[in-house]
Structure 1
Amino acid sequence: MPTEHQNKPVEFTPAMREDYTILVPMMLPIHFEMIVQILRESGYRAELLRTTGRRLVDEGLKNVHNDTCYPALLVIGQMIDALKSGQYDVNKTALLITQTGGGCRASNYIYLLRKALRQSGFPQVPVISINFTDLAGGTGFKITPKMLIKIVYAMIYGDMLMWLRNQCKPYELKKGQTDKVVDRWIKIMNRQFSSGKFLRVGHNYREILEDFAAIERHREKKIKVGIVGEIYMKYAPLGNNDLENFLIKEGAQPVVSGVLDFCLYCLKNGIIDYKLYGGTKGGKTIKTLSLRYCQHWQNQMIRAIKKHGEFTAPTPFAELEAAVDGFIGKGAKMGEGWLLTAEMLELIQSGVNNVVCTQPFGCLPNHIIAKGMMRKIKNKYPQANIVAVDYDPSATPINQENRLKLMLSNARLTEEFGAAPAAGKPKPILDKTEPAAAIPAERDQRETVTL
């Protein structure tokens, strides 16, 4: 029979702050390096888990049903694997997870993790949950206003580094030079978060842009591929089989929007909820002011990139939000909600016609606002080359990569023979000097992208 201690969740208390190691699962490789450092500067002994490999999936399968949300399975597998590794004192270790608190399977992360801890023999390990409805992870863990401001800046700087990295790495002449610049700036920002110099935003932006511009690059034109999807699958290399680097190896340039857009989306949903369902004016005011504050810093980053002139700047959140008008209502906000549709539309409108939608298998919100919107998007933008890739424990990387390669083949054919015809219009006539049979019928752009 389970004891009372095993059934009752262990809370992270103030007494644990001094000598407990807090393990943080990896999601955003650039951003989380800075956020973990902010936790350390605030007095927590935080450590980022960088482990990869099939064993994490297998560990997750021992504790989580294979039909449960794949990101939850991966995060739990990574954490249990760390506890079993022998590298940590399990009686002096806590686990930290982030949750959006939305109406999807991800909201059960904390309960699944606590169950997995009991099953694996670690009932004494406390779990800290950071979410958008309660910034307290127990009486011993608090996100203070000072920490929250630093985390916002970490997301802004992280977005910029990620955005510029993907514009440089596919074109670098010296392999690894871009990653060295990224690593250098992560170290610089980590020092600045302890000194207050991170507030020199304009100066830092100029220095970052100059460092990336100094990377030796060729000017060969590459196919641009946008990445959208469920937040973990979109950003975490462990979840999407290192999708960004895979696309780079295949000769493409990945285009990935920043995580600040997701935070702005969550704040905007609070304002939308007030209009649709009512609520307190105070809550609406706080969300409105927070939205404006974050948009201000995002727009400053965009202006800095445009002023520099070497790189393409991301789209402001206000334009991203406006992109969905006439496509989907903003009351659709389960999972990534209308934001995912907005990202697909913004990519296509900005000339990135090739889009990979990453999603956990069986993720109902993503099937509705991703797969469910693809036909509507293609009706207006027939040149859209969208592929949805499902990730789950049984999916083999080779099958996922083949779908991506097919999408890239369609993109190259479109570039070679011209854009896909508009709906209802005849296909352009091929060069009469080339037999029509040279292009197999199954490669028709309009037929193969609807997967």
Structure 2
Amino acid sequence: MAKLVYDKDGRLLFTKEMKKEYTILFPMMAKIHFHLMKNIFAKFGYKVALLETEGPEIAQVGLKYVHNDTCYPAILTIGQLIHAVESGKYDVNKIALLLTQTGGGCRASNYIHLLRKALIKAGYDKIPVISLNMSGMEKNPGFNISIPLLRRLAAAGLYGDLIMSLSNQVQPYEVNEGDTERMIAKWTKQLTIILSDGYGFKRKELAKYLDRIAEDFSKIEVKRTPKVKVGIVGEIYVKYASLGNNNLERFLREQDCE
């Protein structure tokens, strides 16, 4: 089992040895984007698990370990992570938890510290916490966003944006229910292979595959009928995460909205 190593400030590090043995858990936000990114991390040697658990118990776990005055996304993401730790599904001696960290003035920069406090309170202080950021904060020997990995993650973000936009425009009007979801699954699989093989992130390649994706979605049979069009705005996590917005997108589709 990997040896526990701490930095000079007492922070538990994610080591190279842990990369071989540990599964990294991280909370869901934007479904299409995060599935692509999860697959890319896996191709770079990381064992990753994307948490898609939902339900009121997630918030209750969060409120047990995070002050109720803390912003809702912190309560949910920390609650989802600790809920997974306590689920019995994972070996608590071989998991790490990952959260993004902006490094700016936003309170989201402090989620990492709130998560560590929550883990100590819950009795899991031997679980390493990884900060995913672009500011060089909290470096870990076993977790490195290299240039090749970063280029693929950036491309995955662009592809995810396009697929999300197209699916929102097509799904409410599809003649054959499920066509859009199948197209999303098809391109998630294809893009994972393309990006893993070292293609699809250069400018010309991006343009080529973005065009192909748009062309494929245009082939889905639709019936254009007048519908109410609704835009979802607000804090980024609550806007995109179904856990954060109570499955608002699904509700709007059920109300026959775009």
Quote the Cα distance in structure 2 between the aligned partners of 1:82 and 1:123: 15
Where do 5+ consecutive residues of structure 1 fail to align?
254-451
* Cross-structure match for 2:241: 236
Q: Which amino acid aligns with 1:25?
A: P
Q: Deviations over 1:302-356 (max 9, x none)?
A: xxxxxxxxxxxxxxxxxxxxxxxxxxxxxxxxxxxxxxxxxxxxxxxxxxxxxxx
Task: Quote the offset at 1:207 in angstroms.
Answer: 2.1
Tell me, yes or no, if the aligned pair for 2:155 and 2:206 is still in contact at 8 Å. no
Quote the Cα distance in structure 1 between the aligned partners of 2:51 and 2:155: 22
Quote the Cα distance in structure 1 between the aligned partners of 2:159 and 2:113: 33
Quote the Cα distance in structure 2 between the aligned partners of 1:134 and 1:198: 26
* Cross-structure match for 1:140: 142
Quote the Cα distance in structure 2 between the aligned partners of 1:117 and 1:137: 20
* Cross-structure match for 1:81: 83
| Counterpart pick for 1:113 among 115, 124, 127 | 115
Partner secondary structure for residue 23 of structure 1: strand
* Cross-structure match for 1:63: 65
Partner secondary structure for residue 226 of structure 1: coil
Quote the Cα distance in structure 1 between the aligned partners of 2:64 and 2:178: 37
* Cross-structure match for 1:291: none
Quote the Cα distance in structure 1 between the aligned partners of 2:251 and 2:130: 33
Task: Quote the offset at 1:133 in angstroms.
Answer: 1.7
Higher helix share: 1
Q: Which of structures 1 and 2 has the bigger CA Rg?
A: 1
* Cross-structure match for 1:376: none
Task: Quote the offset at 1:99 in angstroms.
Answer: 1.7
Tell me, yes or no, if the aligned pair for 1:170 and 1:252 is still in contact at 8 Å. yes
Quote the Cα distance in structure 2 between the aligned partners of 1:164 and 1:25: 24
Quote the Cα distance in structure 2 between the aligned partners of 1:135 and 1:172: 45
Quote the Cα distance in structure 1 between the aligned partners of 2:139 and 2:177: 42
Quote the Cα distance in structure 1 between the aligned partners of 2:154 and 2:211: 19
Where do 5+ consecutive residues of structure 2 fail to align?
1-5
Residue 225 of structure 2 corresponds to residue 220 of structure 1: yes
Matches within 5 A, 1:167-316: 167-199=169-201, 200-253=205-258
Quote the Cα distance in structure 1 between the aligned partners of 2:155 and 2:116: 31
Tell me, yes or no, if the aligned pair for 1:130 and 1:137 is still in contact at 8 Å. no
* Cross-structure match for 1:382: none
Stretches (4+) displaced over 6 A: none
Quote the Cα distance in structure 2 between the aligned partners of 1:135 and 1:101: 8
Partner secondary structure for residue 59 of structure 2: helix
Partner secondary structure for residue 109 of structure 2: helix
Task: Quote the offset at 1:17 in angstroms.
Answer: 1.0
Quote the Cα distance in structure 2 between the aligned partners of 1:135 and 1:60: 25
Residue 162 of structure 2 corresponds to residue 157 of structure 1: no
* Cross-structure match for 1:42: 44
Percentage identity across paired residues of the two chains? 49
Q: Deviations over 1:401-443 (max 9, x none)?
A: xxxxxxxxxxxxxxxxxxxxxxxxxxxxxxxxxxxxxxxxxxx
Quote the Cα distance in structure 2 between the aligned partners of 1:148 and 1:22: 18
Quote the Cα distance in structure 2 between the aligned partners of 1:40 and 1:137: 20
Q: Which amino acid aligns with 1:203?
A: K
Task: Quote the offset at 1:158 in angstroms.
Answer: 0.3
Task: Quote the offset at 1:135 in angstroms.
Answer: 6.1
Q: Deviations over 1:37-89 (max 9, x none)?
A: 11111111111111111111111011011110110110011100111111111
Q: Which amino acid aligns with 2:87?
A: S
* Cross-structure match for 1:101: 103
* Cross-structure match for 1:310: none
Task: Quote the offset at 1:112 in angstroms.
Answer: 0.7
Query: Cα RMSD over matched residues?
Result: 1.6
Structure with greater contact order relative to length (CA < 8 Å, sep ≥ 6): 2
Tell me, yes or no, if the aligned pair for 1:161 and 1:182 is still in contact at 8 Å. yes
Quote the Cα distance in structure 1 between the aligned partners of 2:13 and 2:134: 19
* Cross-structure match for 1:400: none
Q: Which amino acid aligns with 2:27?
A: P
Quote the Cα distance in structure 2 between the aligned partners of 1:110 and 1:205: 35
Quote the Cα distance in structure 2 between the aligned partners of 1:115 and 1:8: 13
Quote the Cα distance in structure 1 between the aligned partners of 2:106 and 2:209: 38
Quote the Cα distance in structure 2 between the aligned partners of 1:148 and 1:196: 12
Quote the Cα distance in structure 1 between the aligned partners of 2:139 and 2:153: 16
Partner secondary structure for residue 115 of structure 2: helix
* Cross-structure match for 1:17: 19
Partner secondary structure for residue 238 of structure 1: coil
TM-score normalized with structure 1 length: 0.53
- Of residues 97-106 and 214-223 in structure 1, the stretch that sits farther from structure 2 once superposed is 97-106
